[in-house]
A and B are shown apart, each in its own frame.
Chain A
Amino acid sequence: MSSRKKNILKVIILGDSGVGKTSLMHRYVSDKFSQQYKATIGADFLTKEVTMDGDKVATMQVWDTAGQERFQSLGVAFYRGADCCVLVYDVTNAKSFENIKSWRDEFLVHANVSSPDTFPFVILGNKLDVEESKKVVSNRAAQDMAKSLGNVPLFLTSAKGSINVDTAFEEIARNALQQSQADADAFEDDFNDAINIQLDGEPSSCGC
């Protein structure tokens, strides 16, 4: 009797301002890139149908949040009910890399996830296309960080050069799907919620 609706995967993208969250999303969803920087206000919402492992189809609902501090008042509300959280840093910006951990903690504090230890994160190091001299975050440091946060998958990407974006999002989708199905079957439905009726009790308030 199930309605055979596609799975919906809520994916939230976090990271410092200007690391390329919106660009990554646009590259992934519409395969486009714009040189111009435009700060995201509040959040952007994009949708993409994904096919994983050949046959599993789902609809990915990407919530691209604003990195700027001043848009954060609503920000935490967006975390609720995410199936996967993507943490983005800029390989040319050491501060954005250091902040990955605090973004993750912030997410766990506000998202109210059932099991924080197993909640899927994916880390993306963006702007891989820039010349080597400008890169300040070493691959080694990134791998260490990913490992220390619980073997979080790490991808080095470039939204501009379209490097690794699809691969990264496929991993994100797979993780999200796993998370969304983790306890979907843990519920048995029956109509056992009996109501105790006391007919001689006080009159009910409803008019009819």
Chain B
Amino acid sequence: MVQDLCEDYIDDRQRPQSKTGPHTAAPSLLPSPFSVGVTQPTTSVDFTSSFPAPPQPFLEDLRPSNSSVYMDMASERQSTITSHRDLERELMQSIRSLDLMPRSHAVSNEIPSIFETAHGSPVDPLPQEKQFFILSSAGKPIYSMHGQDELVMGLMGIIYTVTNYFKVSDNKVKSMVNSCGGRVQQKFVFLDKSPIILMAMSAREESVNDLLQQLDFLYSYLISTVSRRQLTRLFSNRDNFDLRHFLTATDFHNLNHICDSIAYGFNPDFLLGALRCLTLRKSTRQTLHNIMLSHVQHPEVAADRGTILYGIIVAPGGQLCSVLRPRGHTLHTTDLHLLFSLIFNQYQGLQDDQELWLPICFPKFNSSGFLHCYIRLLPHQITQGKTGEQHSNLPQNNTDASNKAALVLISAQRESFFAMKKIGQGIVTELLNKNLLETITAASRFGFTMADIPAKFVHHFIYKSKKHVQYVMPRLDMLNFYKSDFDLDSDDDNGSVFSISDRNGLASSGPDSLDPHLDLEKSKHKAYLYKLMRYYTHIRNNAVDEEGVPFNRSTLTFVQWSNDQAQPSEFPQGEAVDMLSLVWLTPTFELFLICNNGVSDRNAVLKSAKNIVDWCRRNEDRLFVKNGAIF
């Protein structure tokens, strides 16, 4: 079913009918590369006005209960080892057997809030919903996401006790569940990385594996700043060591940022264990690869093989553009997440001509030592008529510092700054000369939308290519369609671990923050992303077990939420909930798909899902970094 793509055909085609999309109202810096098979947005009724729903009743349950509002359709897990067609037939049967009464209400392009959030606000929920603790193996506190020292100190003692209980009883399982009335209230997951211990608590639909991944990321952050060897050395022969005195204020700031973005941001990266990739034309990506390669293989540099290990160009939101790597070597996703998190949180204040030379321990690459990173932000390049002018025409509302791409060159040699600088300067100059920064800026703002793909009824999806360990998803627009200026300011990375955190004040210090209306829109958008993230977390965990392993080698699962129409009072706006979503896990890809509210036609949704998979496979060269630039 994978068809060969006729590259030129699509590239050369002008966009004939995509003027309907709201984003096209803005001056288009780059035509969307996906202009074939455009469908109209699958909207018939816009429920935008009813969007921010305050406290909502808790409508989902981790396990099917006798609750009438939750109908878990996850039972239709089917194995498709044999062939696609078998899967289809089986699905058809299950769909028929489970066909529900068609709903009478209209289809909405808005998704309802169905997950319980403490006190309604995702920005400021009770600490009971999500907590992270880090302590030493002696039980001394190192970090806690919420709470003052005095409050958490006793909890640290209890965590310490539990961890040691697991150790004494040689328990393989390092988690506990607090349930009440057959419903899971909280999960506690422990990660013992002596000499430090980490614990996560969650009252959400996250699996043990999800929480372990999050803990591993926090641990990896500590290692990236201290290194495992140094950590061991610090605690050797003095278990009473207080690591908080060794960490810097920046470290705590970064830990806060990571925890906040895991808890309240939109981070499929952790859920999927994959990197987001920037959508670029195949030829553009190849040019990026070639530029990096040519500067590294320049005779002067190439003589000193081993100076440079990796080169990366990354767009805002941690979207991968190009990777330069030695043959046979790759960097682990977690290491890149850490790097991107630093760049897009901590170092966005860099001037265009400033360079950073930074020691980072990449825990999955080698946890015992440091690599050295040359980091340089790539200036915005907005050219008018290819003249190469910079900056002057940048719209006011668009100067969000988090929207700068970066070039990273990684070396194992501490003294190689000037060698890296030379390579870096060459690459940046060539990127500017070829107007590629403009392309990257535009691509990171526009990406693609649902309208680019012939998949009706679909609200949003995430497609992960397992081979590339990367994922793509349609752009997430802010909901303020009426203010076309801000359409440029696509806040895709809002709340992502790869954006500036609100806590350091940078994000809100711009002129934008004087506009209360925009602030409201931003917080609405944040709430929307948070909601979406919980949908994705929930549906993924319907297809995988607590260890994150799919129930079958291939799994296709529908999950449906509906409220009982006899009791419409459960929702403040009387909004009917009829949400359908789909998870499709195979050995080669993972697809997570959320439909518009009110869609119940499973055949149509399955068709859309197939269209998305076909589309993603067809456009693989644009959606993913395949091999990168190999030297």
Please report A residues at the B interface, Cβ cutoff 8 Å.
1-8, 10, 42-43, 45-47, 49, 59, 61, 63, 73-74, 77-78, 80-83, 111-114, 179-180, 183-184, 187, 189, 191-197, 199, 202-204, 206-208
Contacts of A82 in B (CB 8 A): 138, 240
Q: Is the CB of B138 within 8 A of A81?
A: yes
Residues of A within 8 A of B364 (CB): 206
Q: Nearest chain B CB to A27's CB is how many angstroms away? A: 18
Check A59 against B153 for contact (C-beta < 8 Å): yes
Task: Tell whether A191 pairs with B469 under 8 Å between CB atoms, given A8-B244, A199-B305, A204-B330.
Answer: no
Inter-subunit contact A59/B149 (CB<8 Å): yes
Are B366 and A195 touching (Cβ within 8 A)?
Answer: yes
Contact A80 B239 (CB under 8 A): yes
Are A204's CB and B138's CB within 8 A?
A: no
Chain B residues closer than 8 Å to A49, beta-carbon distance: 150
Binary contact readout B312-347 vs A (1 if CB under 8 angstroms, 0 otherwise): 000000000001011011111101100000000000
Nearest CB in chain A: distance from B323 CB, A: 7
Q: Are B154 and A208 neighbours in the complex by a CB distance under 8 Å? A: no
**Which of A2, A191, A207 lies in contact with B370, CB distance below 8 A?**
A191
Q: How far is the CB of B107 from chain A (nearest CB, A)?
A: 39
Q: How far is the CA of A138 from the CA of B523 in the complex (A)?
A: 70
Q: Contacts A8-B242, A43-B157, A194-B414 known; A204 to B139 CB distance under 8 Å?
A: no
A81 to B233, CA, bound (A): 15
Is A193 a contact of B370 with CB atoms below 8 Å? yes
Q: Which of B60-68, B163-171, B451-459 contacts A (4 or more CB under 8 A)?
A: B163-171
A59–B150 CA distance with the chains assembled, in angstroms: 8
**Residues in B whose Cβ lies below 8 Å from that of A183:** 238
Q: Which residue of B lies closest to A206 (CB)?
A: B332
Contact with A along B372-411 (1 / 0, CB 8 A): 0000000000000000000000000000000000000000
Which chain B positions have C-beta within 8 A of A114? 237-238
- Interface core residue of B154, B238, B370 (most chain A CB under 10 Å): B238
Q: Smallest CB–CB gap between B278 and chain A, Å?
A: 15
B394 to chain A, nearest CB (A): 33
Q: Cα distance A24–B150 when bound, in Å?
A: 19
Question: Can you name the residue of chain A whose Cβ is closest to the Cβ of B368?
Answer: A193
Enumerate 11 A-B pairs (CB-CB under 8 Å) in ascending A order: A2-B249, A5-B244, A7-B245, A43-B161, A63-B139, A63-B157, A81-B140, A113-B239, A192-B414, A195-B412, A208-B323
Least CB distance from A203 to B in Å reads 4
Residues of B within 8 A of A204 (CB): 328-330, 365
**Contact residues in B for A73 (Cβ distance below 8 Å):** 168
Interface SS of A by simple majority: loop
Whether B252 sits at the interface, judged by CB under 8 Å, is yes
Contact residue range for chain B?
35 or more
User: With an 8 A cutoff between CB atoms, is B118 at the interface?
Assistant: no
B240:A180 contact, CB within 8 angstroms = yes
CA distance A112 to B369 in the complex (A): 27
Taking CB atoms, residues of chain A closer than 8 Å to B366 are: 195
- CB neighbours (8 Å) of A180 from chain B are 240, 242
- Which 9 pairs between the two chains have the least Cβ-Cβ distance? A81-B138, A45-B157, A81-B239, A203-B328, A208-B330, A193-B369, A206-B332, A77-B164, A195-B369
Tell me if B329 and A199 are in contact (CB < 8 A): yes
What residue in chain B is nearest A8 (Cβ atoms)? B140
In the docked arrangement, what's the CA distance between A8 and B541, Å? 40
- Asked if residues B168 and A112 are in contact (CB atoms below 8 Å), the reply is no
Cross-chain contact A189 with B246 (CB below 8 angstroms): yes
Report how many A-B pairs have Cβ atoms within 8 Å: 159
- Confirm or deny: B81 has a beta carbon within 8 angstroms of a beta carbon on chain A: no
Contact B306 A197 (CB under 8 A): yes
- The yes or no answer to B137 lying at the interface (CB within 8 A) is yes
Query: Chain A's nearest CB lies how many Å from the CB of B219?
Result: 17
Apart from A74-B161, A81-B241, A191-B359, list 13 A-B contacts with CB within 8 A.
Answer: A2-B245, A3-B249, A5-B242, A61-B156, A78-B161, A81-B136, A81-B139, A114-B238, A189-B246, A204-B328, A206-B333, A208-B325, A208-B332
B469 near A195: Cβ-Cβ < 8 Å? no
A61 and B168 contact, Cβ closer than 8 Å, known pairs A81-B137, A206-B365: no
Task: State the Cβ distance, A78 to closest chain B Cβ, in Å.
Answer: 8
Per the bound structure, the CA–CA distance linking A45 and B247 in Å amounts to 25
Q: Which residues of B contact A187 (CB under 8 A)?
A: 233-234, 246
A195 near B370 with CB under 8 A, answer yes
**Of listed B157, B251, B329, residue having the most chain A CB within 10 A:** B157
How many Å from the CB of B230 to the closest CB on chain A? 7
* Nearest CB in chain B: distance from A182 CB, A: 8
Report whether B249 and A1 are in contact in the complex, using a CB–CB cutoff of 8 Å. yes
Per the bound structure, the CA–CA distance linking A83 and B359 in Å amounts to 33
Closest CB in chain A relative to B59 CB, distance in Å:
37
Residue B371 CB within 8 A of the other chain: yes
Alpha-carbon distance A208/B168, docked complex (angstroms): 37
- Nearest CB in chain A: distance from B247 CB, A: 6
- Distance of A23 Cα from B626 Cα, bound (Å): 66
Cβ–Cβ contact B139 & A10, under 8 A: yes
Query: B359, A199: Cβ atoms under 8 Å?
Result: no
B467: nearest residue on chain A (CB-CB)? Answer: A207
B229 on the interface (CB 8 Å rule)?
A: yes
Q: Does B248 contact A (CB under 8 A)?
A: yes
